Amino acid sequence: KKLGWAIVGLGKFATEEIMPNFKDCQHSRLVALVSGSPDKAKKLAQEYGLQEKNIYSYQNFDSIKDNPEVDVVYIILPNSMHAEYTIRAAQAGKHVLCEKPMATSVEDCQKMIDASKKAGKQLMIAYRCQYEPFNLNAIERIRKGELGKIRFITSDHGRLVKPTEDKADTWRVQKKLAGGGSLMDIGIYSLNAARYFTGEEPVEVTAQISSDPNDPRFKEVEDNVAFTLRFPSGVLASCTSSYSYETVKRGRIFGDKGWLDLDPLSDYDKHNMKIGKQDGKEEPQLKEGNQFAAEMDHLSECIMQNKTPRTPGEEGLRDVRYIMAIYESARKGKAIKV
Ligand code: NAD
């Protein structure tokens, strides 16, 4: 059985990564579009064989409640709009998959969770790496003890933000829409990975932020962030995020029996794993999977089986809470207990 999905926001990620990957889904099919641009929606509906009656605008979106073909609404809008559209979707009686970061404040995250609970509907946050085979394999190796006792993690996420060249970057440098800079957008991958690799919640964060005050891109949002998470077992995770270094999306786990590199850790494809131990290095040849289809099907299956998804709203809220603590630590110049 396939559940019907609606996409809200037909931007770069929705059109280039999500919509084309429904083809590999076994339990999810695209049935509706929600867009502010009727022409774009009509063209895409034709391309994907969707009925014109299943195209919604932001204004008439709430009437999606009367459309039994739509089971799940996938929110792919700028960060600060996630809360409003998740809540409206829940009130329309729909399950929701919402992009990362869940929202731009802890309060909004809580309101989203409450709205979904009240409606008796599922809310999942789109942490695609938690559905990606290389990351899942790394977690399995760590849990089995292959790397011994984990002592340290490093993870870096950076890319060049180009607000004047790329429309998808224009809102990313506006605080009101993005909520923050590189940390909210991509540093969140390092943060989330440190948590799923350790399987622990941090107890303390420390951070420094630096942005070139003469660079017009960083008038409202931060550029470079260096943050450290301290976990109860003693593991330290030292992470960076940036909007001004050439693309890096990597992570390394250091254990007392070996280390494991994922470089990239969080790309759309072409993942790579290396493991180093006292007796040498290996490069396990894992099969690349479709993380987007796996993620969407996971939610569809959870809905059909009435199970809580692996990355529910509470998971998104935790990261937003840690992100706020990272900002606070950088602002106050001291460690923050979380
Ligand atoms: P984008 O700008 O390409 O898409 C955003 C869409 O929202 C556009 O279609 C735009 O028209 C629409 N929109 C509606 N109101 C808007 C407003 N007031 N201002 C600007 N746009 C408005 O951006 P994107 O890169 O597709 O990112 C969208 C969301 O997806 C973000 O939350 C981002 O964090 C997330 N994302 C996730 C991944 C991932 O790998 N999981 C990758 C990229 C983006």
Distance CA 18, CA 74 (A): 10
What pLDDT band is residue 156 in, cutting at 50, 70 and 90?
A: very high
Residue pair 192/241 in contact by the 8 Å Cβ criterion: no
127 is catalytic: no
Q: Under a CB-based contact definition with an 8 Å cutoff, are residues 178 and 185 in contact?
A: yes
Q: Is the CB of 176 under 6 A from ligand 1?
A: no
What does the pLDDT read at residue 74? 99
What residues contact 145, with CB distance under 8 A and at least 6 apart? 257
- Report the C-alpha gap between 334 and 64 in whole angstroms: 47
Q: What percent of the chain has pLDDT over 70?
A: 100
Q: Is 99 in the pocket of ligand 1 (CB under 6 A)?
A: yes
Q: Are residues 263 and 147 in the same domain?
A: yes
To the query of whether residue 100 is one of the catalytic residues in this protein, the response is yes
Residue 171 has pLDDT above 90, yes or no: yes
Q: With a cut of 90, say whether residue 213 has pLDDT above it.
A: no
Q: Give DSSP secondary structure letters for 16-72.
A: IIIHHHGGG-SSEEEEEEE-S-HHHHHHHHHHTT--GGGEE-TTTGGGGGG-TT--E
What average pLDDT score do residues 93-106 get? 98
Task: Tell whether 181 and 81 lie within a shared domain.
Answer: no
Who contacts 53 (Cβ-Cβ below 8 Å, separation ≥6)? none
- Same-domain check for residues 209 and 113: no
Is residue 335 in some structural domain? no
112 within ligand 1 shell (Cβ under 6 A): no
Q: What per-residue confidence (pLDDT) applies to 336? A: 98
> Residue 329: inside a domain, yes or no?
no
Question: Which of helix, strand or coil describes residue 165?
Answer: coil
pLDDT number for residue 84: 98
The phi-psi region of residue 6 (left if phi > 0; otherwise alpha if psi is between -120 and 50; otherwise beta) is beta
Is ligand 1 within 6 A of the CB of residue 168? yes
pLDDT band with cut points at 50, 70 and 90 for residue 242: very high
Where does the pLDDT of residue 317 fall: very low under 50, low under 70, confident under 90, or very high at 90 and above? very high
Ligand 1 pocket check for 9: Cβ under 6 Å: yes
> Is residue 160 domain-shared with residue 185, that is, in the same domain?
yes
ipTM beyond cut 0.85: yes
> Can you give the CATH number for the domain in which 143 is found?
3.30.360.10
**328 is a domain residue:** no
Place of tokens 């040498």: 280
Active-site hit among 189, 196, 322, 327: 189
- H-assigned helices in 199-290: none
Residue-averaged pLDDT of the chain: 98
In a domain, 109, yes or no: yes
Looking at the structure, tell me whether residues 146 and 283 fall in a common domain. Answer: yes
Q: What is the mean pLDDT of residues 114-142?
A: 98
CB proximity list for 22: less than 8 A, separation 6 or greater = 5, 28, 29, 30, 48, 293, 296
Cα 42 to averaged position of ligand 1 atoms, centre (Å) = 19
CA 40 / ligand 1 centre spacing (Å): 15
Asked if 233 and 144 sit in the same domain, the reply is: yes
Asked if 106 and 92 sit in the same domain, the reply is: yes
Shortest-distance atom of ligand 1 to CA 168: 2
| Shared domain check, 157 and 202 | yes
Q: What is the mean pLDDT of residues 314-327?
A: 98
Whether 148 is covered by a domain: the verdict is yes
The answer to whether residue 221 sits within a structural domain is: yes
Structural domain count, the chain: 2
pLDDT above 90: residue 176: yes
Considering the domain architecture, whether residues 169 and 243 belong to the same structural domain is answered as yes
Residues 133-161: what's their mean pLDDT?
98
Same domain, 152 and 266: yes
Domain range spanning residue 77? 3-126+292-312
- 169 and 195 assigned to the same domain: yes
The CATH number for 68's domain is 3.40.50.720
Q: Residue 162 has what pLDDT?
A: 98
Atom of ligand 1 lying closest to residue 12 CA: 3
> 10 lies in a domain?
yes
Q: What is the mean pLDDT of residues 110-129?
A: 98
**Same domain? 174 vs 274:** yes
Residue 48 lies in a domain: yes
